Amino acid sequence: MHPFSQYSSLPPPCYVYRKSILLRQAEQLRQLKDIGILYSVKTNPFPPILRTLAEMGFGADAASAAEVTRSIEAGIPPERIYYSAPGKTKDDLLAAWGQCHLIADSLHELSLCSEISVQRKETVSVGLRLHPPFSHNGKEAGPSKFGIEWTQFLEQKDYIRRLPGISVEGIHIHLRSQMLDAQKLAALEENILRLALRTEELLSHPLSYVNLGSGIGIPYDDTLDTAFDLAFFRKKMEEMADRFHKSTKARLLMESGRFLVGECGAYLTEITDIKTSCGKTYYIVKNGANGFFRPVLSQLLGKEHAPAEPFYTHASPSQILLLAEREGWETVDIVGHLCTAQDVLASDVTLPKARIGDRLLFSHAGSYGYSLSPLLFSSHPLPEQIWLEEDAEV
């Protein structure tokens, strides 16, 4: 029996999440000794996922004040929540004040934090998101909307140190998601750790954390991708952390979204019509783009497109399974029910010959699925989200 065939009785369209797979992934990341893992809430803020990770002691990488609140509601303590995103307003900062670690993405945000803490007659500890002089592959950095550019930091470090009501407690650098080459990610972390030590020197002030951002990827298509070598990465990180901690007490943090939740979720939909046109066969399904948008984006952007995370990762972002025993095969396009020709989930895929009413399941839908899709377009009913606490529940 295929591991997903048990989902055929669930009500499509729906997302289904298996706790057992989330636990399996979380256990693997817990083996990164001495590195605190922050779950990137934007990947999938579904409360049972947040609660499970909270119970396991994970922290949160929140990208909005609302994600800070959701993390707290799920049981993640404020000291394990880090709020980092560009363009925070004074209202955003006030909403999250005292509920998490704030990470300033710009000098303007830093001055807003200073203004608030002076008004409140307190000192706030803030992190700085830095845009380092190197990129994820060690080459020179290009422009970025994220963080404070390193040269600007060098020019403004005395201003930062003198800002009233502010104490810099940490740094955050995230340069790349979905890396499958553990050696390259380890080399990137080494550059970040070097920069962190330099930052401490320049600020003449010890940092209490260094957030290395995300990076650990997942294979989307076993025929094209090789899984990230976590054992190698763990060993490298242990060696680097030992060396790093000879000079500083700053604790190390990493963020993770898709590695934790990508594989624990699948998207289930139903074929509502089958038609042929000029020799092409179409399976029309409930809630295509307005259910699971990422495969549609892959179709729109095409096979040769460079990664544009998290919207486009892969030409083949999801494996598709027909949940019915059928004779024969056919090559079809799977399209949604929206009134746009662009609502295409897959083109020229070969599947067992389906019938109207059969269900199709899309893998790797646990990350950037529900939260990244334009669910309201055309006012169809929203997909449900179903949490399977036990594998045998369906």
Question: Residue 91 Cβ, how far from ligand PLP at the closest point, in Å?
Answer: 21
Site for ligand PLP contains 59 (CB under 6 A): no
What separation in angstroms does the CA of 224 have from each of 70, 71, 216, 316?
36, 35, 17, 9
Beta carbon nearer to ligand PLP, 86 or 133: 86
Amino acid at 128: L
- The token duo for 258 is 């898709």
Q: Three-state DSSP class for 257? A: coil
From CA 249, how far away is CA 247, in angstroms rounded?
7
Where does the chain show beta strands of DSSP type E? Answer: 14-18, 35-40, 59-62, 81-84, 101-104, 124-131, 148-149, 166-172, 209-211, 251-256, 265-277, 280-285, 320-322, 329-336, 344-352, 359-362, 384-388
Closer Cβ to ligand PLP, 39 or 283, answer by number: 39
β strands within 41-80, DSSP E: 59-62
Residue number with the shortest CB distance to ligand PLP? 257
- CB of residue 369 to ligand PLP, shortest distance in Å: 12
Q: Which of residues 341-370 bind ligand PLP (CB under 6 A)?
A: 367
The answer to whether residues 322 and 358 touch, using CB atoms and an 8 Å cutoff, is yes
Rounded Cα–Cα distance for residues 61 and 55 (Å): 16
Binding segment for ligand PLP (CB under 6 A), chosen from 51-59, 66-74, 158-166, 171-179, is: 171-179
The answer to whether 265 and 45 are in contact (CB under 8 A) is no
The reply to whether 92 sits near ligand PLP by the rule CB under 6 A is no
174 contacts ligand PLP (rule: CB under 6 A): yes
Distances (CA, A) of 147 to 129, 140, 153, 234: 5, 16, 10, 27
* Single residue of 12, 13, 257, 336 touching ligand PLP by CB under 6 A: 257
> Is 40 among the residues that bind ligand PLP (CB under 6 A)?
yes
Return the residue of 178, 269, 299, 373 that touches ligand PLP, per CB under 6 A: 178
Name the one range near ligand PLP by CB under 6 A: 72-80, 188-196, 254-262, 288-296. Answer: 254-262
Q: Give the total of residues touching ligand PLP (CB under 6 A).
A: 16
- 211 lies in the binding site for ligand PLP (CB under 6 A): no
CB of 210 to ligand PLP, least distance (A): 14
**Binding status of residue 310 toward ligand PLP by CB under 6 A:** yes
Helix/strand/coil for 103 = strand
Q: Are strands 166-172 and 124-131 parallel, antiparallel or unpaired?
A: parallel
With CB under 6 A as the contact rule, which of the stretches 26-34, 252-260, 352-360, 384-392 interacts with ligand PLP?
252-260
Residue type at 373? S
* Site for ligand PLP contains 177 (CB under 6 A): yes
261 versus 296: smaller Cβ distance to ligand PLP:
261
Among 45, 147, 213, 369, binds ligand PLP (CB under 6 A): 213
Mark the segment that binds ligand PLP (CB under 6 A) among 170-178, 225-233, 274-282, 342-350.
170-178
Interface with ligand PLP (CB under 6 A): 40, 43, 61, 174, 177-178, 213-214, 255-259, 309-310, 367
